[in-house]
Chain A
Amino acid sequence: MTRRLRCRDVERLMLEGEDRALPAGERGFVEEHLRACARCRGFAADRAFVRKELSGVRWPAPPEELVLRTRRTLRDAGTAAPVVVPAWILVALAAVTIITSVWLAIWLPDITPDTTLADLSLAARAAVFIIVQNALMLFCAPIVLRTARARRAELESAR
């Protein structure tokens, strides 16, 4: 190993040295570099300082109430039957989807860029209404849901 080590390489080697014993060659180069480079000595000192501070942090134990609440939730989750959507809801959703698709397929060809709302028949207007309503719902639903959740969380934390 004859190449000259850059400070960045030495820093990386120092971090590696915390994980495993470095080969004698690399270790020698690092020590030699450290003797000559104040910047890297600073890095090593900072690193030791942070590790020492972290080892002195007393981590809080989980609150008893949280441990019990989570245990209860886990038991409920373990014993709860999976949520099954009733068959009639699936059939109704499929029927609505098919009817809407057929409706749109019939009336959409009547709508061109030149047509105004006044030119359209009642059924074609209904088709336009369905499209606009779906677009608005797709755009607004996440905002409304997230705003409601944030308000609920705010109220709960205030209690």
Chain B
Amino acid sequence: MTSFDELYDMYNAHIYRFACALAGNAGDAEDLFQETWLRAVKALPAGRETAGRDPKAWLFTITANAHKDSLRKKRVRRLFLLERTKSMATAAADADPGWDVSGHSREDGAMRSDIRICLRRAVSRLPGRERRVFVLKDIEGFKHEEIGRMLGIPEATVRTLLHRAVRKLRKELAEFRPAANGHPVFEEGRS
């Protein structure tokens, strides 16, 4: 039995993190965060429980849909306000990363920051579908099957989108590429 207030207290940090990872800047992340909860409160009549659904997956689905809609709206807006909106969005993303790239030891702090700034930029340059799949898998730790259910796409499509996203990120992060000497550790299962 989970009231909406409890749901909000329990998951607002998760939703904000997901919104930050998807949006790439704090302003858009805040909009996405609010939009998610507004949609949730409308979808869930006051006082009712989430009726057997995994509330986290349900809320993440709402966030992913809200992200898809916001990208669509941005595309339409760009048609009308071309350069202006584009430059405003870029400036906002550069000024306010949303991802915390600081807070490391002095020796590797600058290097780590550079890597994470590039990583953030590379993720925010991914097309919407690939970005959602990548973030759900690599940041939120969902399984392919769960991601497929959440985004309403087949599991094979999830794998394809993830593969494309990983290949694009590889290209973007080529300058930080570690030396591929020796036999790599083949990871198994979710870490």
Contacts and interface: CB of A to CB of B under 8 A. Distances in A.
B83 to A, nearest CB: 12
A150 B81 contact: yes
A78 B8 CA distance: 13
A129 interface: no
Contacts of A50: 119, 138, 166, 169, 173
B186 A17 contact: yes
Majority secondary structure, A binding face:
helix
A34 interface: yes
Task: Give the interface residue-count category, chain B.
Answer: 35 or more
Interface in B124-156: 137-139, 143-144
Contacts of A14: 186
Given A17-B187, A53-B115, A70-B12, 10 more contacts: A16-B159, A17-B186, A19-B143, A19-B190, A34-B186, A48-B187, A54-B119, A60-B20, A71-B5, A143-B80
Interface of B: 4-5, 8, 12-13, 15-17, 20-21, 26-27, 30, 33-34, 37-38, 41-42, 46, 77, 80-81, 84-85, 88, 98-101, 103, 112, 115-116, 119, 137-139, 143-144, 159, 162-163, 166-167, 169-170, 173, 176-180, 183-191
